[in-house]
Amino acid sequence: MDFRKQGAEARLYVTSFLGRRCLVKERFKKLYRHADLERSLTSQRMKSEIQALVKCRQCGIATPALYYVDKKANAIYMEYLDDCITLKDHVNKLLLDDCAEPIVKIANQIGSIVAKLHDNGIIHGDLTTSNLLVRNAGSPNQELVLIDFGLTSLNSSNYAEDKGVDLYVLERAFLSTHPKTEELFASILKSYEQSCRKGSCEAIAKLEEVRLRGRKRTMVG
């Protein structure tokens, strides 16, 4: 396997699976954790990640196809996406080229995909412009592909709060990566509210609460 990168929770490799190029996400052991706790956490997180991948595709959200799960190695084999660029790079290019119409289109797509996640009981947990990919960028059939479900939770008991936090993570990631794009993020929220089947008002209200808590922490710090 060809090693590509390591994150806080897993290593990524590229290999082949049944003749297809694929990405392998392998969760490594955290030696500072008690062995039983490590096994339990790894098992729970892998289960949530796999369920999220499957559920997203069932409800029409583009994600890498799941090929195989190696429970012994704590590894997930999935589709290797070689026809995509990160949303981060795509938005940067649109902003640099001052492309107003495509920027509105991508804002609408972002809001719509997050609404679909939340409508289907999925909290991503790490919504950033690096965890959204753009397939066929700039073409009529452009679509967003969501990746990295390592922090995902399903059917949360504190759902409105978790949706607000999900939106806040996206907002902080978006505005820190793409400064002076407050209006663009407002368009994302508008699309989110229009696309949600239920609960958008509660989620936006919780977003305001989380923003306030964030500002208070900044002031104290």
Mean pLDDT of all residues in 165-186: 93
- Could you tell me if 139 and 215 lie in one domain? yes
pLDDT at 67: 96
pLDDT top residue among 194 and 38 = 194
Q: Final residue of a domain: which of 22, 45, 79?
A: 79
Q: What is the CATH number of the domain that holds 207?
A: 1.10.510.10
> What is residue 220's predicted lDDT score, i.e. its pLDDT?
46
- Choice among 11-15, 39-43, 53-57, 69-73 with the minimum mean pLDDT: 39-43
- Least confident among 68-72, 124-128, 212-216: 212-216
CA distances from 59 to 52, 54, 206, 208 (A): 11, 9, 25, 28
Q: pLDDT tens digits, residue range 139-175? A: 889 999 999 998 999 977 678 899 999 999 999 999 9
What's the pLDDT at 217? Answer: 57
Q: Model confidence over 189-206: pLDDT tens digits? A: 999 999 998 888 999 999
Q: Tell whether 149 and 194 lie within a shared domain.
A: yes
Q: How confident is the model at residue 215 (pLDDT cuts 50, 70, 90)?
A: low
* Between 183 and 213, the higher pLDDT residue: 183
Residue 60 has phi, psi (to 5 degrees) of: 90, 15
State pLDDT tens for residues 44-61. 999 999 999 999 999 999
State the catalytic residues. 126
Strands 10-17, 84-86: parallel, antiparallel or unpaired by DSSP? Answer: unpaired
Q: Are residues 92 and 64 in the same domain?
A: no
Residues 44 and 141 in one domain: no
Q: Averaged over 183-194, what is the pLDDT?
A: 95
Whole-number pLDDT of residue 219: 47
**Are 121 and 196 within one domain?**
yes
Q: What is the mean pLDDT of residues 59-71?
A: 95
For 109, the domain range is 84-220
pLDDT (average), residues 61-82: 95
Across the range 136-141, mean pLDDT stands at 89
Number of domains in the chain: 2
